[in-house]
Structure 1
């Protein structure tokens, strides 16, 4: 895939970039290693000041970077502005809290005595250069939620961004440099996916984090396992959205529309499978389908647009094939389902019912504004349908019954259970999945400790 900015609203190639050669990659690896030796000794106060300055600059750049993201991958510009603001918030969150999250810990005194020590301290030390392989769908947020904790922990970052968002990648490198971080603290590598393996095998790279597809996760995990390097993976999702009889149906349907089409439906944590108790199925389906039909599809630069184009022509083709497969196998199209005429890689908000286990759309992740409806006879069946997937990123449940809340929280196979609301990442809460959605956690104290050497310092009497 060429490294290029291609406007998905028009299909026009706006700018192409040459991939970095071996000499430039080597220079940047050397710089990362050398910078880490000194950066790791900086204080939390020094790092915090730099990260707060980056947040301030990002706020100043909000409109320009939002428009750049929209140009590169098609999200509505109002959502791009919100993404940039969220990134600045996360930077400040880690700048304010990293010292406490990584403070030295002293075990219980009785355990210290039992070990024969006079003192034991657990310290969190940085690992070194960390390679981040990041996707295009949230081109700023996915990177910042790695970079902010990694830099505050004393690590340095090497970013291999998706090839269709090079301007966003270069902006991030420039942002951290303008904030005062030395050049080697955060570097963007304009390289193709084929160059990742060799970089990950380099001894100077100590760990890797990847957000992306299942095949990409397997490749990175395989190499990292061979080289015995720490990884965090956030892969696909096919999140369930369960609606029970006690739910506020109007609110559940309204939020369901947003939960499905956020980011033009191209989100791992977007609700995709809507599992509705039979007692309220018809009422919910009518409200939900009406809401999906009412969305405005169009130019993502226009403020009133709800859904823009998919990020790539291939992505639209893949989604279209999945919908066609379901329809040919007997699924009913309640709205949408047909590619519009004209330029750009648009696909309409679509609702399908009558889904069975053999359809691709049941087994695979639908990355676009397509929702599937399921009817559940009771709570037990709702749980079975929700867990009938190889993914386990997040989940949504709508109920006012606390016993049902406890049951879903216990039995849903996912990294998150969001009750009476849609899944949304927040810097204070751990984020990640189970099963084929990956492993490890981002954000919160759990995320900042993922790339730390947790060191036990034992002192004898």
Structure 2
């Protein structure tokens, strides 16, 4: 059974049976049967339906936002849950406006009578998506894939089954034909079997490194295309000439958005020694002022983590980092009581060998790392196995651009 649990209270919201083999087989057959008709529908007709998807999302934005908040805990406020739904709608509209241009044949000079590059759909795409942005992760995979003429099977994270069902309903209500976008309520153990199925042409995953390796291995064995986006531990570099007030304000928002559960969030705050005291004081003050509580309350800025085990893991990382010498400027503890809460935390004196330095912390925990100068900052920024994004704070734009080119993100 797949359970939907409100992380703000720990209360079970709903329970869904996992799809059996006959249901999965039927979905594969529907997708396989739908692929030719969807491909032949053409870019223009698919664009019409993408606009319809945007309309469906906007018409019921409040309900979808409330679903995201209740099922995974993101704050209901305009810049969080509501923004996620709007971002999906905006993307659907943008793709509708630009798909024909992006998918047009590209002429190529050659000695042949005519040469060109043509973009053609693969067929049935399996999308294995995470819980942290339940709508956005699925729509950002599904919208371009469908617009290009593919059909999609969504295997969403097992703790957001209501969101997974709602996403399929959005496409259906928008008029997308049967079989073009389907949700499979199944566990992770069955993903490899789907990848091996001859009807699945490719797979995309957003998730952990471990999940990415498993999917990549299965796809490699079957010689199928993959698109993977995995974890991140982004550097947020603050140089001595930076606007410290602005940097600290943005750092607080960047680390605690979505309750700190974003793979591309800033996590390592690398600060030149000469301004570290000032930055730490401003940063810790901003984090201490955050209001934590039920994400349905619009006064609160940080809600719970999505699952109980995520709090356990974050607590382990922080405790071990403190044992090894890290110093909590604010926070540093689990919040006991109903729900899965952890205090927004800033750790100073973070060094290599600590979980806060070496690992991705998936929650409201920031690691401040002091460095001697810009070259040292660059060394620390690149001292990680993670990628995704980065940013550099300086009043010298040209210097910042040159440094940014050397960040291996």
TM range (shorter): over 0.9
Give, in whole Å, the separation in 1 of the partners of 2:93 and 2:389: 25
1:72-91 correspondence to structure 2 within 5 Å = 72-78=71-77, 79-91=80-92
1:408 CA displacement:
2.1
Q: 1:150 aligns with which of 145, 152, 157?
A: 145
Question: Deviations for 1:57-107, whole angstroms, at most 9, x for unmatched residues?
Answer: 100111001001111100001110010001000000101001100100111
Residue aligning to 1:221: 216
Residue aligning to 2:27: 28
Is 1:388 aligned to 2:387, yes or no? Answer: no
SS at match of 2:107: coil
Q: 1:306 aligns with which of 289, 301, 324?
A: 301
1:203-282 correspondence to structure 2 within 5 Å = 203-282=198-277
Give, in whole Å, the separation in 2 of the partners of 1:382 and 1:126: 44
1:43 CA displacement:
1.6
Give, in whole Å, the separation in 1 of the partners of 2:243 and 2:139: 35
Q: Tell me which of the two structures has the higher relative contact order, counting C-alpha pairs closer than 8 angstroms and 6 or more residues apart.
A: 1
Residue aligning to 2:93: 92
Give, in whole Å, the separation in 1 of the partners of 2:271 and 2:331: 20
How many residues matched? Answer: 407
Long gaps (5+) in structure 1: 415-461
1:273-352 correspondence to structure 2 within 5 Å = 273-352=268-347
Give, in whole Å, the separation in 2 of the partners of 1:158 and 1:171: 14
Give, in whole Å, the separation in 1 of the partners of 2:45 and 2:196: 31
SS at match of 1:342: coil
1:338 CA displacement:
1.5
| TM-score for both structures, normalised by structure 1 | 0.87
Long gaps (5+) in structure 2: none
Give, in whole Å, the separation in 1 of the partners of 2:131 and 2:87: 17
1:404 CA displacement:
2.2
Following superposition, which runs of at least 4 residues in structure 1 exceed 6 angstroms of deviation? Answer: none
Give, in whole Å, the separation in 2 of the partners of 1:254 and 1:211: 29
1:409 CA displacement:
2.4
Q: 2:348 aligns with which of 346, 350, 353?
A: 353
SS at match of 1:171: helix
Give, in whole Å, the separation in 2 of the partners of 1:360 and 1:246: 29
Is 1:18 aligned to 2:33, yes or no? Answer: no
